[in-house]
């Protein structure tokens, strides 16, 4: 399996490489930065599902103290990648083992000194991460290493810790702190294989004499502990062995081989790697930017259910179950949100932090006025509840897990359907129910009526929920009665009646389904024309006054996305007509978009279009692609949903067509 490498040091790529060379284990994510780097270079050790909010700022996941800070000197000359004495520099990521390596050589008064560091986040132990530094020279040298657990950390909306203190004990340095909002106790400690001396200012000094062509080795074994957690690894070698064995297990479940296409093979391997490093180790979920940092507040979006869950269903079903349980466990918060908006059922968080909706009313800042712009993602992207229900149904279709359905699954599906029913408006003139004032997957057009994706997704949610209810009423009457007792009175009969009159947009004479009411009346211009109207490169395209709002240009796949979730809903001819129609209008302003078109292209015969879109999805983090800004808000990081989309394209797109032929 190919190793990702980059030679030469380029300061402009520090942030990009932090994402590109990320290592993680589903709980901890360590950005691909260098040992001597600090918060200025966006060093981040992110923790899944642990949030903190500082008054007046967004809540977000926490980055914790950096245990691997190391600044080396040889004969009092600094060994740093930014230095003028660098002879060569290379970083690499072995995705077969989840290993990050750096190797830098320096000129030290005419001698050559080499600094190598290997690092991994232990796949076999969620709290553990390790690093081994090796320093050698072609003449005798005196080494001085400044080491410690750096508490001056990179945060987007911090500071998240109070009562921070650092102490030393033997060869161990410990940093402790308490989160501001909920008072979580966090301890990060690092054990060193060499004596730590002269401890001051939170850092220690390690000194050593090295002989010509001999190697000085420093092992660092670190742990991130919340509360009273403990960890079992205290030696680098034993942790490394367990870590590598776990990666063998993961790849044995997940590897897909592509014949005669090295580029596609590595792109898919890299995508799978980015999914495997996010496999949850408990009943929590995966953030939209994974473990690459605090972007999007570390919140969970529909990305997980629609784009990532299929991978785990096909490879690591226990992890898939954890993702489903996360949504079932947060049903109370979804019910509460629905009530707050005046509806019944369950309205799930658009940006979920353990069920709490972290989505702001003002998600974008105007680049001209520098004022926040009111957006309606939290209020109007109601399809999130249909997406959650779809995920539970998808899990059930793969597993037949009746126990999970009786442990909240069926209840959640029906409550999501009930939310849509109570949200809907009965049009007496047209004798039908409509879903008005919504946002579909295309976020450039807010507050539209009868978005095709939204209407169909809720129709199919309610239809399948009613079918399951009737099945369980016959097969398990007592257990079903217990579920029914938790739901609104007459919910099944009400949903049946609603299904008969819910409006479902139909294809026109050309086979095209209008994305929402009035879409065909919008200005008929393409993506490049709209792009040419930008005055500032970071302008937001949508909202009330965006350059795309009054046009047919859309952010991402919308109608096309529906075809991928329910490929038998419309004929291939209808799907191809919509593919051909909407593709020229799609900006692909979301990393979720390319894979949606790739899948439909596979089904409808556009092989070259499918291949291009597959690579656009699979290589997004390899290329350093994707938008970094929405207005003045930083949205950079990895794109695990695109990785999931690449896997789906390989399996359900190219794989399906290969089987067909």
Q: Which residues, listed in sequence order, are joined to residue 215 by a DSSP beta bridge?
A: 136
What's the whole-number mean pLDDT along residues 485-489?
96
Cβ neighbours of residue 517 closer than 8 Å, sequence gap 6 or more: 448, 449, 450
State the number of CA atoms in the 13 A half-sphere of 255 facing the CB.
15
pLDDT tens for residues 583-616? 999 999 999 999 999 999 999 999 999 999 999 9
Share of the chain above pLDDT 90, in %: 91
Cα–Cα distance measured from residue 456 to residue 454, given in angstroms and rounded to the nearest whole number: 6
- Please report which helix (H) or strand (E) contains residue 580, including its range: helix 572-582
Residue recorded with tokens 């509840």 = 385
What's the whole-number mean pLDDT along residues 456-483?
98
Cα–Cα distance measured from residue 92 to residue 6, given in angstroms and rounded to the nearest whole number: 6
What does DSSP say about strands 633-634 and 128-137: parallel, antiparallel, or unpaired?
unpaired
CB 461 within 8 A of CB 386: yes
pLDDT tens for residues 309-325? 999 999 999 999 999 99
The token pair at 248 is 């063998």
What's the whole-number mean pLDDT along residues 116-132?
97
Q: How far is CA 624 from CA 6, 186, 388, 423, 616, in A?
A: 13, 32, 30, 40, 11
Using CB atoms within 10 A of its CB, is residue 635 exposed (0-12), middle (13-18) or buried (19+)? middle
What's the whole-number mean pLDDT along residues 237-251?
98
What integer pLDDT is reported at residue 635 of this predicted model?
A: 80
Map residue 368 onto helix, strand or coil: coil
Peptide linkage before 359 cis (omega within 30 of 0): no
Cβ neighbours of residue 389 closer than 8 Å, sequence gap 6 or more: 412, 413, 416, 417, 461, 465
What integer pLDDT is reported at residue 658 of this predicted model?
A: 39
Cα–Cα distance measured from residue 524 to residue 420, given in angstroms and rounded to the nearest whole number: 32
Q: Which residues, listed in sequence order, are joined to residue 134 by a DSSP beta bridge?
A: 116, 217
Q: Does pLDDT of 191 surpass 70?
A: yes
What integer pLDDT is reported at residue 520 of this predicted model?
A: 98
What integer pLDDT is reported at residue 659 of this predicted model?
A: 39
Long-range interactions of 427-434: CB distance < 8 A, separation 24+: 427/503, 430/503, 431/501, 432/501, 432/502, 432/503, 433/498, 433/501, 433/502, 433/503, 434/503
CATH of 301-505 among 3.40.190.10, 1.50.10.10, 3.30.420.40, 1.10.15.40 = 1.50.10.10
Cα–Cα distance measured from residue 56 to residue 623, given in angstroms and rounded to the nearest whole number: 35
Helix axes 383-399, 410-423, angle to 10 degrees: 150
The token pair at 6 is 């980059």
- Report residue 633's pLDDT band, with 50, 70 and 90 as the boundaries: low
The C-alpha torsion from 307 through 277 and 280 to 414, rounded to 10°, is: 0
Cβ neighbours of residue 323 closer than 8 Å, sequence gap 6 or more: 280, 285, 286, 304, 305, 308, 309, 312, 391
pLDDT tens for residues 41-78? 999 999 999 999 999 898 999 999 999 999 999 999 99
Greatest alpha-carbon span in the chain = 91
pLDDT tens for residues 284-304? 999 999 999 999 999 999 999
Cα–Cα distance measured from residue 554 to residue 274, given in angstroms and rounded to the nearest whole number: 28
What integer pLDDT is reported at residue 661 of this predicted model?
A: 29
Residue recorded with tokens 């190219």 = 654
State the number of CA atoms in the 13 A half-sphere of 79 facing the CB.
35
Long-range interactions of 264-269: CB distance < 8 A, separation 24+: 264/611, 264/614, 264/615, 264/618, 265/2, 266/2, 267/614, 267/615, 267/618, 267/619, 267/622, 267/646, 268/618, 268/646, 268/647, 268/650, 269/1, 269/2, 269/95
Do the domains spanning 3-233 and 301-505 agree at the CATH topology level?
A: no
Tell me phi and psi for residue 129, to 5 degrees. Answer: -145, 150
What's the whole-number mean pLDDT along residues 92-103?
98
What's the whole-number mean pLDDT along residues 86-109?
98
Catalytic residues: 443
Q: DSSP character for 514?
A: P
Share of the chain above pLDDT 70, in %: 98
Cα–Cα distance measured from residue 355 to residue 49, given in angstroms and rounded to the nearest whole number: 11
- Compare 627 and 602 and report the one with higher pLDDT: 602
Tell me phi and psi for residue 269, to 5 degrees. Answer: -55, -45
In the chain, where are the structural domains located?
A: 3-233, 301-505
Q: Does pLDDT of 404 surpass 70?
A: yes
Exposure b/e, 101-120, CB count within 10 A at least 16 = b: bbbbbbebeebebbbbbbbb
Cβ neighbours of residue 174 closer than 8 Å, sequence gap 6 or more: 149, 166, 167, 168, 187, 188, 189
Radius of gyration of the chain (CA): 26
Cα–Cα distance measured from residue 377 to residue 389, given in angstroms and rounded to the nearest whole number: 19
Q: Does pLDDT of 660 surpass 50?
A: no
The token pair at 332 is 């109370």
What integer pLDDT is reported at residue 198 of this predicted model?
A: 83
Q: DSSP character for 473?
A: H
CA 629 to chain centre: 16
What's the whole-number mean pLDDT along residues 178-196?
95
Q: What is the CATH number of domain 3-233?
A: 2.70.98.40
CB 30 within 8 A of CB 122: no
pTM for the whole thing?
A: 0.96
The token pair at 265 is 């093979």
The token pair at 572 is 């291939």
């Amino acid at each position: 399996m190919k190793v990702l490498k980059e030679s030469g040091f380029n300061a402009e790529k520090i942030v990009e490489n932090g994402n590109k060379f990320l290592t993680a284990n589903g709980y901890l994510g360590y950005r691909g930065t260098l040992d001597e780097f600090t918060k200025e270079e966006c060093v981040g050790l992110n923790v899944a599902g642990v949030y903190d909010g500082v008054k007046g700022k967004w809540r977000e996941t926490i980055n914790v103290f950096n245990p691997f800070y190391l600044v080396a000197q040889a004969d009092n000359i600094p060994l740093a990648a930014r230095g003028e004495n660098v002879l060569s520099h290379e970083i690499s990521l072995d995705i077969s083992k989840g290993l990050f390596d750096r190797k830098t050589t320096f000129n030290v008064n005419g001698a050559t000194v080499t600094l190598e560091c290997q690092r991994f986040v232990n796949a076999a132990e969620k709290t553990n991460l390790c690093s081994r530094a090796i320093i050698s020279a072609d003449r005798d040298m005196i080494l001085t290493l400044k080491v410690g657990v750096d508490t001056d950390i990179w945060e987007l909306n911090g500071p998240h810790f109070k009562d921070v203190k650092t102490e030393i004990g033997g060869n161990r340095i410990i940093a402790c702190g308490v989160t501001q909002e909920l008072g979580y106790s966090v301890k990060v400690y690092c054990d060193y294989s060499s004596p730590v001396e002269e401890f001051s200012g939170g850092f220690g000094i390690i000194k050593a004499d090295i002989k010509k062509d001999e190697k000085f080795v420093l092992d660092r074994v670190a742990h991130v502990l919340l509360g009273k957690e403990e960890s079992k690894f205290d030696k680098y070698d034993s942790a490394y062995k367990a870590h590598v064995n776990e990666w063998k297990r993961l790849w044995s479940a997940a590897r897909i081989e592509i014949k005669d296409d090295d580029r596609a093979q590595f792109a898919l391997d890299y995508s799978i790697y980015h999914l495997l490093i996010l496999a949850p180790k408990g009943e929590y979920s995966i953030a939209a930017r994974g473990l690459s940092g605090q972007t999007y507040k570390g919140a969970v979006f529909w990305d997980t259910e629609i784009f990532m869950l299929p991978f785990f269903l096909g490879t690591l079903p226990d992890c898939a179950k954890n993702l489903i349980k996360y949504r079932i466990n947060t049903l109370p918060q979804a019910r509460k949100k629905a009530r707050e908006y005046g509806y019944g059922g369950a309205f799930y968080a658009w940006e979920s932090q353990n069920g709490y909706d972290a989505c702001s009313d003002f998600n974008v800042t105007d680049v001209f006025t520098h004022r926040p712009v009111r957006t309606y993602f939290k209020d109007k992207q109601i399809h999130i509840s249909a997406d959650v229900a779809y995920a539970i149904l998808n899990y059930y279709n793969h597993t037949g897990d009746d126990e999970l359905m009786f442990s909240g699954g069926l209840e959640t599906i029906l409550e999501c359907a009930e939310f849509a029913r109570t949200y809907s408006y009965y049009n007496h003139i047209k004798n039908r129910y409509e879903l008005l004032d919504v946002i579909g997957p295309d976020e450039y057009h807010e507050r539209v009526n009868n978005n095709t994706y939204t209407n169909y997704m809720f129709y199919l949610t309610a239809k399948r929920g009613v079918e399951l209810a009737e099945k369980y009423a016959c097969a398990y009457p007592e257990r079903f009665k217990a579920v029914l007792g938790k739901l609104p009175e007459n919910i099944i009969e009400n949903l049946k009646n609603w299904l008969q009159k819910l409006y479902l947009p139909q294809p026109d004479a050309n086979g095209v389904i209008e994305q929402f009411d009035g879409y065909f009346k919008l200005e008929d211009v393409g993506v490049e024309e709209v792009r040419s109207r930008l005055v500032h490169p970071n302008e937001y395209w949508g909202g009330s006054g965006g350059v795309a709002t009054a046009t047919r240009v859309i952010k991402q796949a919308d109608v096309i996305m529906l075809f991928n979730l329910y490929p038998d809903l419309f004929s291939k001819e209808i799907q191809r007509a919509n593919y051909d129609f909407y593709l020229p209008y799609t900006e692909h302003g979301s990393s979720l978009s390319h894979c949606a078109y790739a899948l439909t292209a596979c089904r409808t015969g556009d092989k070259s279009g499918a291949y291009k879109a597959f690579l656009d999805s699979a290589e997004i983090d390899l290329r350093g692609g994707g938008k970094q800004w929405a207005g003045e808000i930083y949205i950079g990081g990895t794109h695990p949903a695109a990785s999931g989309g690449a896997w789906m394209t390989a399996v359900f797109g190219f794989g399906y067509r290969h089987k067909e032929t």
